[in-house]
């Protein structure tokens, strides 16, 4: 059996797209034949260092061509790619590295300090640094290692059922789970994107969201490269740089979250930028505010929103562009090779218009969490993945998501799970209970706040809580306000009534910071 996985995509595309540009970044352009050779060199280099099928390779870096080089090289030799969120704290990254059992780490030089802090006690034995000097004997230069490697593509048997990537997604218990995406999951998701988003070989897709999030990689980069288009990488989001790139490179498609699109439309260059090349705007994370929709409609552009999650690789539904006004607030209909249903508490499918749990089935849906058979058993009902989200389907199959996982906060497109923050707050000796909820924020959609109770006689301040979290959590997870209460409302079984807290504290307190209630 030959390699039928993702690792062969660029070598197959090489002959079809010779001379065409695969990637544009701050470092210049990379044509398909150059990209293919680079992948082959990395594949053989990793093999020469002892990386074999099933081994995990961690990548720590923002959007960079070698993120994709590493992804495809791992696929070529059957290794498992593990991209990590660069916004996380060392403690969070360390857990993921150790949980994955990875022994190889590739990092961009800008992340070297973070990588050192995160991997100091892990099992990492091979370290490579991109665009930075080696530190013998522990760290090798990525570029030097590639230059010395063979450009002959390795021949390794890889099937669509083999794991391609582990993406860590926080759970309601506070501990991240590694969602195992197979070559088949990612391939079928790309096919869904080709069908439902009309991706063409002339596509010039600007990626402004980090590829360590599955949407940017799997809905943006992979379908575009599969079709032979061009991917334009921005390492950091900057509204002015986005508008400049649209004119400079003739961007045809742009994906983001509502906050990014709002910031682009508010930029001074918005009114004078030529947007005539843009054909597609896709938005995820949450619904697009009407004022943002209207700002783009005035420029002749419409949004397609969608619904999905890491476990669905990530696409579950997509709203056709021509239906964006007709179905405002909807997340669209199921992707072509994916099925979506809504069920009641008894597991039976509900009729149109009735709210229930959203469940997804299809070849893009995971069947495994890394080393967590208990978690996948809880998440799967037969052939259906249980999202934990609440929604309704209309007669035509259009999905409206009416509620998210009851505790999750989505801030600027980032998922924040309160349990993780609450556990850290409870490490403080004088804290008796803690609850984290989301409150509306004009720019980020939602931001987290903490409601805490302390021992009688204790005199903790907001800064005591926030300083304890600083360095232990990514900055976007740190609460924007701390509210002290005598006690938290609880059910008869002792669970905190967060719905009551959300009603009571429905806005960010002013001034931001410590509030006593």
pLDDT tens-digit series, residues 106-124? 999 999 999 988 877 678 9
Asked if pLDDT for residue 1 goes beyond 70, the answer is no
Confidence of residue 177 (pLDDT cuts 50, 70, 90): very high
> Which of 419 and 317 is assigned the larger pLDDT?
317
Q: What is the DSSP string of 89-125?
A: -HHHHHHHHHHHT--EEEEEGGGHHHHHHHHTTS---
CA pair distance 399, 391, nearest whole angstrom: 7
| pLDDT digits 0-9 by tens, 272-291 | 999 999 999 998 766 677 77
Asked if pLDDT for residue 172 goes beyond 70, the answer is no
- Give pLDDT, residue 328: 79
CA pair distance 98, 10, nearest whole angstrom: 31
Judge residue 109's burial from the number of C-beta atoms within 10 Å of its C-beta, 0-12 exposed, 13-18 middle, 19 or more buried.
middle
- Residues 252, 209: contact at Cβ < 8 Å? no
In CATH, the number for domain 409-516 is 3.30.300.30
Asked if pLDDT for residue 516 goes beyond 50, the answer is no
Confidence of residue 355 (pLDDT cuts 50, 70, 90): confident
Side-chain-side CA neighbours of 158 within 13 Å: the count stands at: 28
- Give pLDDT, residue 103: 93
- Give pLDDT, residue 429: 85
Q: Please state the rounded mean pLDDT for residues 114-142.
A: 90
- Residue 446: how many other CB atoms lie within 10 Å: 20
Judge residue 290's burial from the number of C-beta atoms within 10 Å of its C-beta, 0-12 exposed, 13-18 middle, 19 or more buried.
exposed
- Give pLDDT, residue 290: 73
Asked if pLDDT for residue 40 goes beyond 90, the answer is yes
- Tokens, residue 297: 């409609």
- Give pLDDT, residue 373: 95
Distances (CA, A) of 245 to 24, 201, 215, 479: 10, 19, 20, 34
Select from 394, 457, 401, 460 the least CA-distant residue to 427. Answer: 460
Radius of gyration over every alpha carbon of the chain, rounded to an integer in angstroms = 23
| pLDDT digits 0-9 by tens, 57-83 | 999 999 999 999 999 999 999 999 999
CA pair distance 91, 73, nearest whole angstrom: 28
Choice among 139-148, 321-330, 352-361 with the minimum mean pLDDT: 321-330
Confidence of residue 494 (pLDDT cuts 50, 70, 90): low
Q: What is the mean pLDDT of the chain?
A: 91
| pLDDT digits 0-9 by tens, 383-392 | 999 998 888 9
- Give pLDDT, residue 94: 93
């Amino acid at each position: 059996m030959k390699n039928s996985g993702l690792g062969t995509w660029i070598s197959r595309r090489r002959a079809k797209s010779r001379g065409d540009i695969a990637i544009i970044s701050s470092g210049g352009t990379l044509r398909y034949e150059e990209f293919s050779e680079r992948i082959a060199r990395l594949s053989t280099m990793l093999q020469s260092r002892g990386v074999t099928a099933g081994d995990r390779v961690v990548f720590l870096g923002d959007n960079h061509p070698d993120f994709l080089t590493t992804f495809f090289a791992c696929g070529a030799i059957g290794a498992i790619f593990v991209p990590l969120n660069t916004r996380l704290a060392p403690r969070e990254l360390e857990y993921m590295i150790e949980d994955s059992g990875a022994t190889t780490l590739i990092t961009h030089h800008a992340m070297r300090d973070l990588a050192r802090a995160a991997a100091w006690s892990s099992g990492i034995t091979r370290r490579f640094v991109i665009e930075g000097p080696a530190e013998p004997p522990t760290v090798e230069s990525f570029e030097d290692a590639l230059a010395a490697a063979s450009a002959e593509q390795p021949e390794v048997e890889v099937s669509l059922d083999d794991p391609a990537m582990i993406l860590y997604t926080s759970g309601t218990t506070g501990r991240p789970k590694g969602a195992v995406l197979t070559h088949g999951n990612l391939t079928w998701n790309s096919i869904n994107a080709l069908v439902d988003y009309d991706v063409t070989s002339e596509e010039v897709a600007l990626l402004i969201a980090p590829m360590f999030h599955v949407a940017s990689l799997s809905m943006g980069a992979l379908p575009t490269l599969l079709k032979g288009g061009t991917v334009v990488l921005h390492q950091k989001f900057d509204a002015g740089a986005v508008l400049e790139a649209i004119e400079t490179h003739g961007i045809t498609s742009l994906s983001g979250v509502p906050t990014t699109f709002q910031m682009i439309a508010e930029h001074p260059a918005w009114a004078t930028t030529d947007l005539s090349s843009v054909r597609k705007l896709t938005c995820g994370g949450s619904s697009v505010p009407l004022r943002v929709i209207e700002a783009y409609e005035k420029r002749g552009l419409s949004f397609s929103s969608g619904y999905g999650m890491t476990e669905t690789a990530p696409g579950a539904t997509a709203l056709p562009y021509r239906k964006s006004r007709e179905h405002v607030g909807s997340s669209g209909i199921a992707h072509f090779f994916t099925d979506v249903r809504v069920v009641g508490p008894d597991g039976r499918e509900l009729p149109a218009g009735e709210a229930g749990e959203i469940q997804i089935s299809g070849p893009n849906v995971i069947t495994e969490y890394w080393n967590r058979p208990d978690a996948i058993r809880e998440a799967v009902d037969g052939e259906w993945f249980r999202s934990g989200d609440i929604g309704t389907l209309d007669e035509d199959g259009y999905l409206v998501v009416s509620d998210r996982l009851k505790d999750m906060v989505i801030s600027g497109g980032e998922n924040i799970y309160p349990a993780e923050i609450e556990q850290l707050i409870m490490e403080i000796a004088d804290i008796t209970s803690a609850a984290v909820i989301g409150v509306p924020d004009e720019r980020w959609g939602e931001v987290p706040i903490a409601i805490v109770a302390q021992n009688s006689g204790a005199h903790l301040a907001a800064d005591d809580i926030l300083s304890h979290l600083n360095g232990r959590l990514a900055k976007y997870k740190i609460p924007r306000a701390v509210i002290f209460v005598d006690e938290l409302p609880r059910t008869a079984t002792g669970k905190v009534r967060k719905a009551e807290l959300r009603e009571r504290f429905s806005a960010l307190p002013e001034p931001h910071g410590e509030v006593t209630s």
